[in-house]
Amino acid sequence: MLKRKASVQLSPSKLDEVVSIPGNKRPRLTPIITVFERRPALNVVDLDDSAPSPLEYPWMEWPWDDDDDDVDSLFDELPAVRDNPAGTVQAFGNVEGVVNDDDDEEEDEVDSLFDEPAGSQATCPSAVPDDAAPSSPATIVARRTAAPIPGLYFDDLCPVPEELASSVLAQLTAQYFSRPDGPNQIMLFTRPSDSLPAPLDALLATVSDLFRPSLSKESHDLLFAPRGDGCARQAIVNRYAPGEGIASHVDLLGRYGDGIVGVSLGAGCAMAFAPLEEGKGDPCEMWLPPRSMIALEGDARYKWTHGIAARSYDIVQGENGSSERIERGTRVSVTFRWMLPGAHVVGDA
């Protein structure tokens, strides 16, 4: 049974059910599905010293039982963050979380990925303020072709076939986003030998085929070939209502490997890219049309941030040097990543 929990400290608002966590006891293994409210500051890292600033990780201090020294979560990356009193959280508003809270579950069994210590205060950011008015006017004209970033691949010429795209979108929407006040981010974790849920596997297989002609074998293997090194697949499904975005970030370094693939379902949007190091490239926005695919490896994955401005429209390159305004619709993105070897295991094996 789901019920509202008053507060969650320093966590993403941990919403909705957590399905099929194999074992609530050590060793904590891979949770299959977790459901979140997307935070505005997600996974941004400073590559210079490989240490995230607490400002950029307001939610990294996952609310473990403080006595539990060996705690690890799929959301931890660098222990340094824990030592840092991530007081940054006060910068954000309150979001109430809903967690799986079966009546027969002991509240004090703080041994799963998803328990909070008692008495924690809820402060966690939401992707967009509740009064989500269209914000951040578009000042950049989004390009329609791949930005010149090493390791960024973009293909809108051979989009995912309409039928597959709408079928996957319909299934994801029905399964994860049916409640208007529900979560907007779903994380799916697998074990190395497992596959993702069928619709996502089908989508990934198609995207792999579509990308094949335009990628070197090396890149294609990095992005798509099953890995013999015990790496597990992970997928994030993000739903963006018009006006919503995701803060610019680099996907977690300590949890995910190289080779990230994204697909836009439903509406398109402009994705913003910026080099982590000033002067190492020009920030830009790139229009990701419905059913288009994008892939990031190397520099694009590690040395550039990506994000989506929270606004209700994008300005996009048109014909002959003109530009056009495209209103945002509801977009669902699917992002496929590799977990680093062993990163799917949480806690002591």
Ligand X SMILES: O=C(O)CCC(=O)C(=O)O
Q: Which one, 89 or 295, has the nearer CB to ligand X?
A: 295
Among 265, 300, 268, 302, smallest CA distance to 284 is for 300
DSSP 8-state class, residue 52: -
Q: Which one, 99 or 186, has the nearer CB to Fe ion?
A: 186
Q: Which one, 16 or 251, has the nearer CB to ligand X?
A: 251
Q: Say whether residue 292 binds ligand X (CB under 6 A).
A: no
Per the rule left: phi > 0, alpha: psi between -120 and 50, beta: everything else, 119 is: left
Element (H, E) at 219: helix 217-224
Q: How far is the CB of 56 from ligand X (least distance, A)?
A: 13
Q: Say whether residue 126 binds ligand X (CB under 6 A).
A: no
Which alpha helices (H) appear in 80-197, and where do they start and end? 80-83, 162-176
Q: Say whether residue 306 binds ligand X (CB under 6 A).
A: yes
Q: Which one, 268 or 347, has the nearer CB to ligand X?
A: 268
Q: Say whether residue 156 binds ligand X (CB under 6 A).
A: no
Measured at the alpha carbon of residue 316, what is the angle toward residues 135 and 246, in degrees to the nearest 5? 40
Q: Which one, 54 or 307, has the nearer CB to Fe ion?
A: 307
Q: Say whether residue 281 binds ligand X (CB under 6 A).
A: no
DSSP 8-state class, residue 55: G
| Binding footprint of Fe ion on the chain (CB under 5 A) | 251
Cβ-proximal residues to 201 (8 Å cutoff; 6+ apart), any chain:
195
Q: Say whether residue 335 binds ligand X (CB under 6 A).
A: yes
Q: Which of 54, 159, 197, 262 binds ligand X (CB under 6 A)?
A: 262
Q: Say whether residue 238 binds ligand X (CB under 6 A).
A: yes
Measured at the alpha carbon of residue 270, what is the angle toward residues 204 and 318, in degrees to the nearest 5? 115
Q: How far is the CB of 331 from Fe ion (least distance, A)?
A: 14
Per partner kind, with CB cut-offs from 5 to 8 A, the member of ligand X, Fe ion, none near residue 236 is ligand X
Residue of this chain nearest to Fe ion (CB atom): 251
Which alpha helices (H) appear in 49-179, and where do they start and end? 80-83, 162-176
Q: Which one, 110 or 142, has the nearer CB to ligand X?
A: 142
Distance, CA of 5 to CA of 3 (rounded, Å):
6
Write out the two tokens for 256: 């995910």
Contact positions vs ligand X (CB under 6 A): 236, 238, 246, 251, 262, 306, 333, 335
